[in-house]
Amino acid sequence: FCLKNHQTAFFLHLAVALCGVSMCVLSKVEDVLLLVSIFLHAAAAEVCMDLPRCMEPAGTCISPKDYISPRAECPEHRHLFSYDKRAVDKLTDHDEFCGKYVYRLPSTGVLVTLPPPTGEELTKVYQDYDDQLAIPGPDHWRPVGQTKMVLEAMQGKPGPFTIVEIGCNRAWTLFSLRHLAGNGGKLICFDPDPDGQPWRLENFKKAETDVSGLS
């Protein structure tokens, strides 16, 4: 049972399982080179995870084991977050987050969930999402935590900054970060929820009044 040039890594594993590499007769130099290439590719795939190209340079990768934390929305992961019971108790169980973890991108430092959720998974999550109106102000644990994370990441870096938040709810986090965007910076929000629009407009108005050079 030998590998031919057109065979893939799947057949390599099958060959190993059936007869072992030592029993496989390689009749051509091309077969040897192909085998080496497949082994190297398989080894790289085991230790390297592709990252979003819009956030990281092409070819940048990290090990799947280098995650910061699992997603607490997965019921199987919930016990790992017992130290923050108040926050976890407010979460809705979502099996869509099982097998997904939070990673810090090596070049930008952005936190992302990988593997990325599929469109079907996102649709299911947002159909069940009912926490938008449960964030009454900037002192809520979620905007407090988000603000703290951004401030720590931006510490010592010169501004002004353009701060973009995808899914900004009522813009409490952006409002808390308004001073980072003064003197020429911007606060930008993307959120399709119409219920939060009055609060967003009011918070942006207050931010513009409070901080000079903000748009």
Q: Which amino acid is at 209?
A: T
The rounded Cα 1 to chain-centroid distance in angstroms is 43
92 Cβ contact partners less than 8 Å away, ≥ 6 residues apart: 73, 128, 129, 130, 131
Name the nearest CA neighbour of 187 among 195, 198, 206, 196: 206
Average pLDDT of each block of 10 consecutive residues along the chain (215 residues)?
Answer: 40 46 49 56 60 75 86 84 68 85 85 87 73 75 89 87 89 94 91 86 94 86
Element (H, E) at 204: helix 197-210
Residue identified by tokens 């999550």 is 125
Task: Please give the angle made by the CA atoms of 75, 111 and 58, to the nearest 5 degrees.
Answer: 120
Q: In what order do the strands lie in the sheet with 69-70?
A: 69-70, 101-104, 111-114
pLDDT at residue 26, as a whole number:
45
Q: Are the C-beta atoms of 9 and 35 separated by less than 8 Å?
A: no
Backbone torsions φ then ψ of 94, nearest 5 degrees: -140, 110
pLDDT score at 14: 47
Q: Which of 182, 174, 175 is nearest to 213 (CA)?
A: 182
Q: Three-state DSSP class for 50? A: strand
- Rg for the chain, CA atoms, rounded: 24
Q: Are 125 and 76 in contact (CB under 8 A)?
A: no
Which pLDDT does position 25 carry in this prediction?
47
The pTM of this model reads 0.50
Q: Which pLDDT score, from 0 to 100, does residue 50 have?
A: 75
Contact, 185 vs 176, CB < 8 A? no
Q: Are 51 and 61 in contact (CB under 8 A)?
A: yes
Q: How far apart are CA 144 and CA 135, in angstroms?
A: 11
